[in-house]
Amino acid sequence: MSAHSVLAFAETLPPLQRPQTLPGRHLLSVHDLSLGETEFLLALAMRIKAHPADFREALHGRTLVTLFEKPSLRTRVTFEVGMGQLGGRAIHLSPDEIGLGRREAIKDVARNLSRWVDAIMARVYSHADLAELARHSRVPVINGLSDFEHPCQALGDLMTLVEHKGTLAGKTLAWVGDGNNVLHSLIYASTRLGLRMRVATPPQYLPSPEVLATAVFEGGQILLTNDPREAVAGADAVYTDVWASMGQEAEAETRRRVFQPYQVNEALMEAAGPQALFMHCLPAHRGDEVTDEVMDSPRSIVYDQAENRLHIQKAILLALLPEA
């Protein structure tokens, strides 16, 4: 299937608003996506997962550059494998190779890359740097994690929840831990798709007030609490992430003390109820935010989440890359 016929194909899917708006766009935040665009990406990802061969040549001859300021397993491998499966290629640039804003101004990196490649995936420390990169790029820039958001993760996660729960509307996702980048993207994605959220963080580690205000203004149903048990009771899934994100290593010891009551262990999953699945974006720090028992239990869908990063990112690449 060619990149062109992907949009034609979308017409054949159940009632989806066809997003003519996506080609050529950046994806820095889940909030950039409308409801129709979000549903389209999820539906396309499911179709790609079911029929990967139909999309084998869709990005033939196209190149993605993946630019990393931080380490990665899932994001790097899934973008590289995904581009290969779509008939294109990916070029990996490690932190030492680019020196974003140090060896070279961010706008010069963006202007150079725009002359050679079809899209840029960037994992950066500062979301402002990502926005600067996008401002000066003529090709789509995809957020592969910043200090503020992780949109590919959240979209893949909601796809995973749909697979396990059948629908999102009226379901509840409990977040337990740090009010971080992954949570911000999940709040935006769930607001779009009608998933309720209950968020338990220590008082000093709340999610961004700007994200909360935007989501609530747009109809998001979000309960904030400092009590993990209140958040998880009756939830359809319990999600946690590391207590110290990449770039916060100096705070790790302080955070380990503050977050101890927020560990997702068998007792907390018991309090959630038998319907509750366990989710984590990974990498997990086993023994800190989650125990081995929960990670390795039948309720854990963490490797389904990891697999779906591949499918959702293929959908994102197909949707954003303009036709050749």
Q: Which does 245 bind (CB under 5 to 8 A by kind): ligand CP, ligand NVA, none?
A: ligand NVA
Long-range pairs of 108-112 with CB within 8 A, sequence gap ≥ 24: 109/67, 109/133, 110/134, 110/135, 110/136, 110/137, 110/141, 111/136, 111/137, 111/138
Min separation Cβ 51 and ligand NVA, Å = 28
Choose the catalytic residue: 26, 123, 184, 255: 123
Q: Is 190 in the site for ligand NVA (CB under 6 A)?
A: no
Report which residue type is found at 77.
Answer: V
Binding mask 115-134 for ligand NVA (x = CB under 6 A): --------------------
What is the rounded CA–CA span in Å between residue 141 and residue 228?
36
Q: Is 241 a known active-site residue?
A: yes
Q: Which residues bind ligand CP (CB under 6 A)?
A: 72-75, 145, 153, 281-283
For residue 240, state whether it binds ligand NVA (rule: CB under 6 A): no
Tokens read off for 73: 């397993």
Q: Is residue 152 annotated as part of the catalytic site, yes or no?
A: no
Site map (CB under 6 A) of ligand NVA, residues 134-163, x = contact = -----------x------------------
Active-site entry in 76, 85, 127, 153:
153
Q: Per the residue annotation, which of 241, 263, 288, 305 is the catalytic one? A: 241
- Concerning whether 153 is annotated as a catalytic residue, the answer is yes
Residue nearest to ligand CP (CB): 75
Residue 92 φ then ψ, to 5°: -90, 130
Measured in Å, how far apart are the chain's first and last C-alpha atoms?
A: 14
Rounded-to-integer distance, Cα 32 and Cα 170, Å: 23
Nearer Cβ to ligand NVA (13/252): 252
- C-beta of 189: minimal distance to ligand CP in Å? 15
The partner in contact with residue 181, picked from ligand NVA, ligand CP, none with C-beta cut-offs of 5 to 8 angstroms by kind, is: ligand NVA
User: Is 296 an active-site residue?
Assistant: no
Q: Which residue in 172, 181, 201, 291 binds ligand NVA (CB under 6 A)?
A: 181
Closest CA to 155 of 48, 269, 265: 48
Q: How far is the CB of 323 from ligand CP (least distance, A)?
A: 29
Contact criterion met (CB below 8 Å) for 294 and 264:
yes
Report if residue 242 touches ligand NVA, rule: CB under 6 A: yes
Which residue type does 9 have? Answer: F
> What distance in Å separates the CA atoms of residue 186 and residue 30, rounded to the nearest whole number?
8
Known catalytic membership, residue 123: yes
Nearest residue to ligand NVA, using CB? 245
Q: Name which position in 29, 85, 143, 180 contacts ligand NVA (CB under 6 A).
A: 180
Beta bridge partners of 222: 197
Determine the distance from the C-alpha atom of residue 157 to the mean position of all C-alpha atoms in its chain, rounded to a whole number: 7
Q: Is 126 exposed, middle or buried (0-12, 13-18, 19+ CB in 10 A)?
A: middle
- Enumerate the active-site residues: 123, 150, 153, 241, 281, 309
Binding site for ligand NVA (CB under 6 A): 145, 180-182, 241-242, 245-246, 281
